[in-house]
Amino acid sequence: MRVALFATCLGDTLFPGAVRATLRVLERLGCTVEFPPGQTCCGQMHTNTGYHEQAVPAVRSFVAAFEGYDHVVAPSGSCVGSIRHQHGIVAEHSGDRKLSEAVGRVSPHVHELSEFLVDVLGVTDVGAYFPHRVTYHPTCHSLRMLRVGDKPRRLLSEVRGIRLLELPEAEQCCGFGGTFALKNPDVSVAMGADKTRHVRETGAEVLCASDSSCLMHLGGLLDRQREGIRTMHLAEILAGTEEDR
C-alpha cells in the first residue's frame, strides 16, 4: 500500500518526534511510506483567520505534492479536517476550476492517523507497549469535524501496560483555536486552565491527544504551572514497543 505521510508544518518544524512516531507505526504495520518533499502546510491558519486568498498557495502545494497517492496520512485531526472541509472552499474562492477539481480528487484520500489505522488498515492493536497512566483529550476537529469518535481511545486501550484514565468533561475545547490563542489569550488560557485542572484530577502522568497544536497549548500551560505532567501525541504512545525497553 502506497502511503504518503503529511507531516504538517507544525509537526515538521516543532514536533518532528510525533511525525517520526507516525512513520514508525505505519511501517511496523507494513505500509510503504513516502514523504513527498513538495509538501508544506494545509493552509488552515490562513483560512481560519479569514485569509482565504493567502491560503491558496498552500492548497496548491498540497494537491501538487499528494495527488495520486492511495492514502495520505497526517498525525493531526485539525489539519485533516481543514483539508477535507476547507480546501474546497479556498479553491472555489480562488476561482481556479482546475484547483477545485484537484482538491476534489485528493482530499477524500486524506486521513487522520486513527482513522487510517482503524478504518483503512482495520487494526486497533498496533503492538504497542506503554506502562504509564495516561488520559486522552479528544480534540475538537477530530471529534466534530472528522467524527473519529472513539477510534483513538480504542487504539490506546489495546496498548499493553497502559492505564487509561477518564478525563472529566473531555469533549470541551482546550482553548487553543489557532490564532484565537493570540487574539483572545485571556479566554484561551481560561479554557486551558480548566482543561489542565481536569487533567490533574485524573492523576495521569501523560496527557495524550491527536493534535500537536492543542498539545502545544496544554503542554505550555502544564509546563508553566510546573505540573510534572507531560504531553504526548497519540502516535508517540502507539510507536513504543516492549523491545524498546
Q: Which is nearer to another protein, 20 or 133 (CB)?
A: 20
29 lies in the site for another protein, by CB under 8 A: no
Minimum distance between the CB of residue 220 and another protein, rounded to whole angstroms?
3
48 lies in the site for another protein, by CB under 8 A: yes
103 lies in the site for another protein, by CB under 8 A: no
With H, G, I as helix, E, B as strand and everything else as coil, classify residue 101. helix
Minimum distance between the CB of residue 154 and another protein, rounded to whole angstroms?
22
- Pick the binder of another protein from 31, 103, 145, 167 (CB under 8 A): 145
Angle subtended at Cα 81 by Cα 17 and Cα 34, rounded to the nearest 5 degrees: 45
Q: Which is nearer to another protein, 135 or 139 (CB)?
A: 139
15 lies in the site for another protein, by CB under 8 A: yes
- Pick the binder of another protein from 4, 19, 118, 232 (CB under 8 A): 19
Query: What is the grid cell recorded at 100?
Result: 477545485
Question: Would you say 55 and 74 are in contact if contact means Cβ atoms under 8 Å apart?
Answer: no
Query: What is the grid cell recorded at 157?
Result: 486501550
Distance between CA 173 and CA 19 in Å, rounded?
24
127 lies in the site for another protein, by CB under 8 A: no
The residues binding another protein (CB under 8 A) are 7, 9, 11-17, 19-20, 35, 37-41, 43, 45-52, 54-58, 60-61, 65, 86, 89, 93, 140-141, 143-145, 171-173, 175-192, 216-217, 219-221, 223-224
